Structure 1
Amino acid sequence: MLPSISQLDLRRYLPSQDKFQYQLLPIADSKKNGYPFGIRWRSPSPDRFPLRLRRMSIARFLFILAATILGVGLMVAGGLRRRTHHTTESEPESQYAWQKFQKLDGFFNGVASIVDTSDWVPQQEDLLQPNASMRTELPKKLKTTGPPIEPIVYNPYAEFSSAKYLEDHDAVQTCYLDDGDSVLPPDVYAYPGIPQNMTKHFMGSYKALNIRDDVCWERFGRLGPYGYGYDKDEGGVGLAEKSEKVGSNKIWASQKRIDWRKVNWATAQQRCYEKNKNRFAKNSTSEKSSTGTKKISRQAYILRSYTGYKYDDHQLLTMRAMITELSLKSGGEYDVHLLVQVKDDSIPIWTDKEVYRKTLEENVPEEFWGITTLWSEELMRLYYPGPFPENFENPSGQPNHGVYRGAHFPLFWFSQQHPEYDFYWNWEMDLRYSGHYYEFNKQIGEWAKQQPRKGLWERNSRYYMEDYHGSWANFTKTVEKETLDNPTPPVWGPVQFPNNGMLESPASNTPPREYLDDNYEWGVGEEADYLSFNPIFDPSKTNWVFRNDVDGYSRTHPIPPRRIAIITVARISKRLLDMAHQETYKMRHTMFPEMWPPTIALHHGFKAAYVPHPTYFNHNWPLEYMDQIFNHPRVPTDSVFGWGEHNQLDSSFYYHAQFSGSLWRRWFGYRENNEGGTWHELTKTGRMCLRATLFHPIKYERGSTE
């Protein structure tokens, strides 16, 4: 019997290439799951690398041509067979095990169904009830009186005014949007409750991170203050003309509409810092401010963009929220920067100020001009000159300084140009967060600060599933047992390995005692040097395609030990970036962008942590099966960071997660996969109200409401 397209492995018909492997990602059936079927190439960059064909003999060319014709024939035959199959079966055939699990729809319950968390029954628990008649009842439609609960001003800055805080810290001075100190940054609003039967997250934990889980966010309360829902001639962005908006007027009871066209973010951030500069200084753990009080770390929040990027109105809302919540409302703890790649290397931005200005103004919205820094690959070639010798493997065929393999270089460069910060957030333009940015950043930093170093690298490599593993303390014990049962010794301080020369590791990174003698003490109270949002794993135990993309180490020795976190999004300390910068320009060492900063942390003993932020899935995965698939693959090819990446399609956070964009657009009120939209919201339970969730990737946001 001829195979169908879902069974056909095209890799068998490609020429053997020892130095390159594509990761084939067959995507779920569109009719059943709303995801387009296709084959996708692994790429963390906005630009896909070109396939470089190698020279080959005529005989080999003819073989490939014949194999291609055979493959096309098999696919056509398989397609005919599948089409015949669909005429006799009402349900299309599932390709992967997770596609057979029941789809979840509790995400789409709206504001009319909000209940106190003490009355909330997660959809997963509701589905366990023996028959449908016993399931928790939802309101049939949105009442004209609006949601049953009033929205509240969400204020994660309350500690600033507490007596305890003021005993140890300088007072936070109020910051404004305008030069005249008359326009206050707006408040945002959340609902104190959760829609009944809201689907629960599968991975991560609100409780562990100390992020409020008893509130939900809908689009007007979250983004209305930044211009969503009022006209452009008033300084807003519109977008909500046909939206379901019952009760949304309540956010304007005490909140003025702001004309965002008049805001200069650079001067607003600078004024805020000047008012509060006594609160800050470098090396906050070892110095005090001029008033003798404890200091606060300053952090750079760096949004990575490029010339030609289209700043949709939705993007403007997100950027305004970031700057307002992280910088102005916090009294200047953060500066938000836009780091923009000039893709045309022939533009002389470094020799002509007028060309620099023109390039900036043509590619960035005016309100962000003052916070933007331009860079180019040509600058990186000058700043980090080659050669980077003895590459172990370069599957993409791309040069070291290209953005595909050298995306970390401009971050290192930026940290050297702006040494005033303690931490640098490398943030992508296709990330979204439905909750409050300051709360998220503050709490994950505090959580990481309290993590002991013992077992940390081993915990970093696993997904934490709260309903399966229990408390974080129980998860820690589970990982400890697995570690002690494993013949591979745990990571404890800087790793030792044969090499052709490395910089000396900081003395503070040397463990104070042996691993078994430590009672989970070392590292508690120490800021993390590297924070990731996906597990930090050993790529040598997977078939991740770029696992051996390593430069500058002698090939007379084995390839160095490595760690990697998929997606370059991270918070990185100045001291780790300084070490990475020196390893790069002094030693000519580098690796693939997602691998190099965490590997620097591994080699030199810096504190690194994977943040277990709540992550949602579109299907009802059995937890034991999920733990096996994501945490204990039987063989390297099963890893969810290699050919098993199809399992990640179903989640709200991964480099190619399909569910993330779908869920985010539904939250905005748009129709997605012929579902949702204004009529659905009006005739059901209203607009969606989600818990605080980090989404990636969001490749587009604008859709149809009808």
Structure 2
Amino acid sequence: MSSRFNLNTPKMFIRTRFNYEKLPGADSQSSSPMRTGSWSKSYRNPMWANRLQRPRLSLGRLVMLVVAALMMVSMLATGIYKRHRWHDQQRKGEDRKLYHWERFPRLRGLFNGVRTLVPHADWVSEQAYVKYSQSPNPEDNIKPKWPPMSKEHKEPPMNPMPFNPYPDFTSSSYLKSHEPVEPCFLDEEENVPTPDIYAYPGIPQNQTAPFFGSYEELGINDKVCFERFGRLGPYGYSYSRDQGGFDLAGKAEKHGADLMWSFEKKIDYRNVNWNSAQKRCYEKNKVRFQKNETDASPKTEDAPPAKKKLPRHAYILRTWTGYKYSDYQILTIRAMINELALKSGGEYDVHFLLHVKDDSIPIWSSDEVYQKTIQDNLPKEFWGMATLWSEQQMRMYYPEPFPNNVYNHAKAPVHSVYRSAHFAMQWFSQVHPEYDFYWNWEMDLRLTGHYYEFNTKIGDWARKQPRKGLWERASRYYIPELHGSWKNFTELIEEEMYNSDEKPVWGPPKFDNTGMLPSPPETEPPRTYLTDNYEWGVGEDADLITFNPIFDPAKTNWVFRDDVSGYDLELPEPPRRCAIITVSRLSKRLLDLMHRETYLMKHHMFPEMWPPSVAFHHGLKAVYAPHAVYFDHNWPLENIDGVFNHPPKPTDSVFGWGEHNQLGNSFYYNAGFSSELWRRWLGGREWNQGGPVEEENGSGRLCLRPTLFHPVKHENLAT
């Protein structure tokens, strides 16, 4: 047990977002590139024999010998340099002052594998196990449970099963209120059906529980876990390239993984055209989304009730020229298209919003150049799904000036993607007005769960949220083990607000200005704050869904909090809201307001501040979705709540100088644990732990519940 709960903190170099991760090649520093040992000297040839047998040293042979010698010297020098650099960083890691959270015990339960699977009812989280196993109360000993595992029997104790989060499209209850769903296929001949993914109906015993967020509250299935073969296998992860896969499994531990091929057929992805598949799927199912022309005609008493029409979603991957798509990323994108667009009957469309960084390329003058730019920068299977844009285009679409900037900390032009990534999203929503919602998705996001379940459940949950206390709840991290139920959390926030000097947000805020667009009339509250019984807003789709809290940047020292343009500098800065990481779901209503605020009013803010601030100014519905976020250290609950939710002063905020507190979790812009855990889940070796040998000799490959990771900057697996 002591080896599993090793309290020795790894040597993490985490002064910046990049240094947390182990340097490439660190695993091999102890091995030398030079061969050791000596040749036998048992006898010596006479001089005349050497003269007869020695080959003539031609110029070609001499060049080859020099090249070989240089390669040997280079390899030796590189090995010495890497070893010196690794030891130097180890020394620096030992010398530096540890952050307070690094002194908490390490959590290792997320690395328990499939051989420790138990039904959810028998699962005890790692935090509960540690808590109860260390308790002096004998009655607490009933709680601890240790992973059952047989070293002789390496098969998982249960079998993977198809995971299906969709409504029963063929049921009478569904068809009573919805149009029928026509099944979609990967090929035009409709011979290749869309694949399923597979999950295990259990959880590794003592797997770590998330500190933030709740599967149960969002309606996401928390009783299953996903490992890499069942999650990515149907998209070509494990089988050979001759069969149309990527052959990435190698020598990885895979006991029990092949069971899914009893139900699933291997798909040759070499000739799949995802754009055509999406379009065919929508055409077959567009009656589900379009309003019928006969809807406005008079209804007779015997006429059946009108069928419910569904909203459509654009799922936008923001990419750029020169971006390199790893095989793992291609698997992820295939999963998005299949699970969101095809298996849903066309509810989503996946798009690439491709930034052309070279403004001199005449993409707007030539269809051939436009298509060549796509073909040079996207894998072939995704051609046809891209929309190009450039900063030069945005300068024309949203022309200068953007006056009265408070402070441009980035020292970059207003049209640079760094300061105005939202310009392209706004433009896209005007070019593609057929969608109700637009998902702003980044290329370094990964998800172990099912995309349709994750995204749809979050939208359903947001629709149920009342507006009373909405902005205040969105500014806090939800910690179920401390806050209890969501109802209790809601009441706690209400009490905190009552005992503070803060005025609750209720409709569009009033603030001094010299020109603002009118807010939509429906955003005016129908009753006073005190007389509303958490009714207003229930059943209303959210205009903005974020994946980190929506905070007031004026109460922090977040570096870009004053990057505000277009407002009167003689007046106080307008009130603002911000959510770190631009990943979000935005409504057409919100994007239209952002667009008009930009071109009509010349208002502008930093990208992570702009959508929440426009939603705030105009009284739109904005929520932070409390998805599961894991940590690599066992924070005391009161401590994590105080640090993340109640910083004593602005400089302590975790959205500013206190961002180091985010390094050890699974979701933030600088989170280091996210990359480590994702690559371990893929079977890689991190910090001299994990990898094929350890999985084979230990508890098997990792199996995680649905988890959204950010950032994952690379997927180069060390083994």
SS at match of 1:571: strand
- Please give the per-residue CA displacement for 1:648-683, whole angstroms capped at 9, x wherever unaligned: 001100001000000000000000111100111111
Instruction: Quote the RMSD (CA, aligned, Å).
Output: 2.4
Q: Tell which deviates more after alignment, 355-364 or 131-140.
A: 131-140
Paired position in structure 2 for 1:658:
672
Cα distance in 2 for partners of 1:291, 1:246 equals 52
Cα distance in 1 for partners of 2:210, 2:369 equals 49
Cα distance in 2 for partners of 1:656, 1:249 equals 36
After TM superposition, give the deviation of residue 520 of structure 1 in Å: 0.3
After TM superposition, give the deviation of residue 131 of structure 1 in Å: 5.5
SS at match of 1:127: helix
Write the letter of the residue equivalent to 2:276: T
Paired position in structure 1 for 2:227:
218
Paired position in structure 1 for 2:242:
233
Within the alignment, does 1:95 sit opposite 2:98 as a pair?
Answer: yes
SS at match of 1:572: strand
Match of 1:33 among 2, 6, 10: 10
Match of 1:563 among 561, 577, 589: 577
- Please give the per-residue CA displacement for 1:321-367, whole angstroms capped at 9, x wherever unaligned: 00000000000000000111001111111111111111111111111
Question: Would you say the 8 A contact 1:32–1:92 is kept in 2?
Answer: no
After TM superposition, give the deviation of residue 484 of structure 1 in Å: 1.3
Paired position in structure 1 for 2:113:
110
- Please give the per-residue CA displacement for 1:299-333, whole angstroms capped at 9, x wherever unaligned: 00000000010000000000000000000000000
Paired position in structure 1 for 2:558:
544
After TM superposition, give the deviation of residue 94 of structure 1 in Å: 5.1
- TM-score by length of structure 1 reads 0.87
Superposition pairs of residues 659-698 of structure 1, within 5 angstroms: 659-698=673-712
Cα distance in 2 for partners of 1:623, 1:702 equals 35
Cα distance in 2 for partners of 1:305, 1:203 equals 29
Write the letter of the residue equivalent to 1:32: T
Paired position in structure 1 for 2:70:
none
- Please give the per-residue CA displacement for 1:181-232, whole angstroms capped at 9, x wherever unaligned: 1101100000000001101110000110010110000000000000000111
Cα distance in 2 for partners of 1:497, 1:460 equals 21
Paired position in structure 2 for 1:255:
264
Paired position in structure 2 for 1:351:
365
Superposition pairs of residues 595-606 of structure 1, within 5 angstroms: 595-606=609-620
Question: Would you say the 8 A contact 2:615–2:622 is kept in 1?
Answer: yes
Question: Would you say the 8 A contact 2:17–2:672 is kept in 1?
Answer: no
Unaligned runs of 5+ in 2: 1-7, 20-86
SS at match of 2:633: coil
Paired position in structure 2 for 1:125:
128
After TM superposition, give the deviation of residue 478 of structure 1 in Å: 0.2
Cα distance in 2 for partners of 1:184, 1:458 equals 46
Cα distance in 2 for partners of 1:392, 1:524 equals 37
- Please give the per-residue CA displacement for 1:137-158, whole angstroms capped at 9, x wherever unaligned: 3345555561111111100113
- TM-score by length of structure 2 reads 0.85
Question: Would you say the 8 A contact 1:177–1:263 is kept in 2?
Answer: yes
Cα distance in 1 for partners of 2:348, 2:108 equals 37
After TM superposition, give the deviation of residue 128 of structure 1 in Å: 1.7
- Please give the per-residue CA displacement for 1:433-490, whole angstroms capped at 9, x wherever unaligned: 1000000111100100000000000000000000000000000000001111111211
Write the letter of the residue equivalent to 1:625: N
Note closer, same or farther for the CA distance 1:649–1:287 as it changes in structure 2 (3 Å cut): farther
After TM superposition, give the deviation of residue 129 of structure 1 in Å: 3.2
Superposition pairs of residues 316-355 of structure 1, within 5 angstroms: 316-355=330-369
SS at match of 2:417: coil
Cα distance in 2 for partners of 1:165, 1:646 equals 48
SS at match of 1:406: helix
Cα distance in 2 for partners of 1:39, 1:703 equals 22
Superposition pairs of residues 476-491 of structure 1, within 5 angstroms: 476-491=490-505
Within the alignment, does 1:456 sit opposite 2:465 as a pair?
Answer: no
Paired position in structure 2 for 1:528:
542
After TM superposition, give the deviation of residue 287 of structure 1 in Å: 9.3
Match of 1:277 among 286, 292, 296: 286
Question: Would you say the 8 A contact 1:170–1:291 is kept in 2?
Answer: no
Paired position in structure 1 for 2:83:
none
SS at match of 2:542: coil
Cα distance in 1 for partners of 2:323, 2:642 equals 40
Question: Would you say the 8 A contact 1:298–1:423 is kept in 2?
Answer: yes
Within the alignment, does 1:189 sit opposite 2:174 as a pair?
Answer: no
Question: Would you say the 8 A contact 1:35–1:658 is kept in 2?
Answer: no
Paired position in structure 1 for 2:631:
617
From the CA coordinates, give the structure whose radius of gyration is larger.
2
Cα distance in 2 for partners of 1:211, 1:541 equals 33
- Please give the per-residue CA displacement for 1:468-527, whole angstroms capped at 9, x wherever unaligned: 000000000000011111112111111111112111100011100111110000000000
Question: Would you say the 8 A contact 2:17–2:671 is kept in 1?
Answer: no
Cα distance in 2 for partners of 1:383, 1:291 equals 44
After TM superposition, give the deviation of residue 704 of structure 1 in Å: 2.0
Cα distance in 1 for partners of 2:162, 2:154 equals 20
Unaligned runs of 5+ in 1: 1-30, 43-81
Write the letter of the residue equivalent to 2:254: K
Cα distance in 2 for partners of 1:137, 1:612 equals 29
After TM superposition, give the deviation of residue 136 of structure 1 in Å: 3.0
After TM superposition, give the deviation of residue 33 of structure 1 in Å: 3.1
Write the letter of the residue equivalent to 2:103: K
Write the letter of the residue equivalent to 2:667: F
Paired position in structure 2 for 1:381:
395
Superposition pairs of residues 37-116 of structure 1, within 5 angstroms: 37-39=14-16, 95-116=98-119
After TM superposition, give the deviation of residue 159 of structure 1 in Å: 3.2
SS at match of 2:162: strand
After TM superposition, give the deviation of residue 39 of structure 1 in Å: 4.1
Write the letter of the residue equivalent to 2:396: L
Within the alignment, does 1:408 sit opposite 2:422 as a pair?
Answer: yes
SS at match of 1:161: coil
Paired position in structure 1 for 2:74:
none
SS at match of 2:131: coil
Cα distance in 1 for partners of 2:296, 2:702 equals 46
Write the letter of the residue equivalent to 2:382: F
Note closer, same or farther for the CA distance 1:123–1:414 as it changes in structure 2 (3 Å cut): same
Cα distance in 2 for partners of 1:462, 1:306 equals 33
Paired position in structure 1 for 2:273:
264
Write the letter of the residue equivalent to 2:155: G
Cα distance in 2 for partners of 1:208, 1:138 equals 27
Cα distance in 1 for partners of 2:321, 2:390 equals 10
- Please give the per-residue CA displacement for 1:350-405, whole angstroms capped at 9, x wherever unaligned: 11111111111111111111101111000000101110000011001111110000
Q: Percent identity?
A: 59
Cα distance in 2 for partners of 1:371, 1:34 equals 43
Question: Would you say the 8 A contact 2:115–2:149 is kept in 1?
Answer: no
Cα distance in 1 for partners of 2:127, 2:134 equals 14
Question: Would you say the 8 A contact 2:9–2:106 is kept in 1?
Answer: no
SS at match of 2:383: helix
Cα distance in 2 for partners of 1:623, 1:539 equals 25
Question: Would you say the 8 A contact 1:144–1:246 is kept in 2?
Answer: no
Question: Would you say the 8 A contact 1:142–1:686 is kept in 2?
Answer: no
SS at match of 1:128: helix
Cα distance in 2 for partners of 1:329, 1:86 equals 52
Note closer, same or farther for the CA distance 1:282–1:583 as it changes in structure 2 (3 Å cut): farther
Cα distance in 2 for partners of 1:146, 1:115 equals 13
Write the letter of the residue equivalent to 1:567: I
Note closer, same or farther for the CA distance 1:651–1:41 as it changes in structure 2 (3 Å cut): closer
Paired position in structure 1 for 2:485:
471
After TM superposition, give the deviation of residue 97 of structure 1 in Å: 1.1
Question: Would you say the 8 A contact 1:564–1:594 is kept in 2?
Answer: yes
